């Protein structure tokens, strides 16, 4: 018996002065599932992901996350949904180390982890080898993995991730998709990721395609 969708969107849209960022979006994602939002660059993937996370306000359609109606209660939803790194929104300081970034994230949730806890958390996400590496010196793959690890720190009920292909090989992106699918099940979270390539979208439990306006 299927559980109720944790994220449920019907006819969702975001209209701006320049036109529609996205429109007509129907999506259902349950906890424990990995969903993909696929589309070319400029199709509105990032805007949609941030809308699902309660960080952007839609202009039409219906959206509920964890039974909470948006955009009316966006702040409540934002506390339940973890974010990967979104450029210009929650970038990390270049001078921080990976370990310090994790420590700071834990502190946002009222915890003061010991150094051993931080090391164990980094190892669990396969980034223990970059614990003392500064953000600016991380490879693109390790940087994205760190963003994913940070998104799960607060044990969120849902997570949204973008840019799992940026500066990465297809093999590296596939590895991140496997990590996200496994994490969705192990953490019992509804995970939504934005991708460009169909091969990556096919790795998810469910996927939708966003066309650019005018296509």
Residue range 60-104, pLDDT digits in tens: 999 999 999 998 888 899 899 999 989 888 899 999 999 999 999
Q: Label the pairing between strands 68-70 and 81-83.
A: unpaired
CB atoms within 10 A of CB 71: 13
What pLDDT sits at residue 88?
84
Q: Label the pairing between strands 68-70 and 60-65.
A: antiparallel
Q: Residue 42: is its pLDDT beyond 90?
A: no
- Both ends of the chain: CA-CA distance in Å? 38
Write down all domains in the chain, each with its CATH number in brackets: 7-209 (3.40.50.300)
What pLDDT sits at residue 72?
86
Average pLDDT, the chain: 94
SS3 26: strand
What pLDDT sits at residue 200?
97
Give CA–CA dist 161/79, Å, rounded.
16
- Reported pTM: 0.94
Q: Residue 215: is its pLDDT beyond 80?
A: no
Per the listing, tokens 């993937």 go with 45
The count of C-alpha atoms lying within 13 angstroms of the C-alpha of 86, restricted to the half-sphere facing its C-beta, is 21
| For residues 1-21, average pLDDT | 90
**Which two structure tokens, joined as six digits, stand for 104?**
């700071």
Q: Residue 1: is its pLDDT beyond 60?
A: no
What pLDDT sits at residue 163?
87
């Amino acid at each position: 018996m299927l559980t109720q969708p944790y994220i449920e969107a019907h006819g969702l849209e975001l209209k701006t002065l320049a036109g529609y960022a996205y429109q007509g979006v129907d999506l259902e994602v349950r906890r424990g599932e990995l969903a993909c939002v696929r589309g070319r660059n400029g199709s509105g993937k990032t805007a949609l992901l941030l809308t699902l996370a309660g960080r952007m306000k839609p202009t039409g359609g219906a959206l509920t996350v964890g039974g909470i109606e948006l955009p009316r209660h966006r702040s409540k939803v934002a506390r339940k949904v973890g974010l990967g790194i979104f450029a210009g929104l929650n970038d990390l300081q270049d001078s921080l180390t990976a370990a310090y970034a994790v420590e700071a994230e834990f502190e946002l949730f009222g915890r003061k982890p010991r150094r051993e806890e931080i090391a164990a958390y980094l190892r669990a996400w396969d980034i223990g080898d970059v614990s003392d590496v500064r953000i600016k010196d991380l490879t693109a793959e390790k940087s994205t993995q760190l963003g994913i690890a940070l998104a799960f720190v607060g044990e969120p009920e849902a997570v949204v991730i973008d840019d799992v292909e940026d500066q990465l090989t297809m093999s590296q992106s596939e590895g991140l998709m496997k990590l996200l699918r496994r994490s969705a099940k192990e953490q019992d979270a509804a995970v939504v990721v934005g991708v460009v390539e169909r091969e990556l979208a096919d790795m998810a439990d469910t996927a939708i395609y966003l066309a650019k306006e005018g296509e």
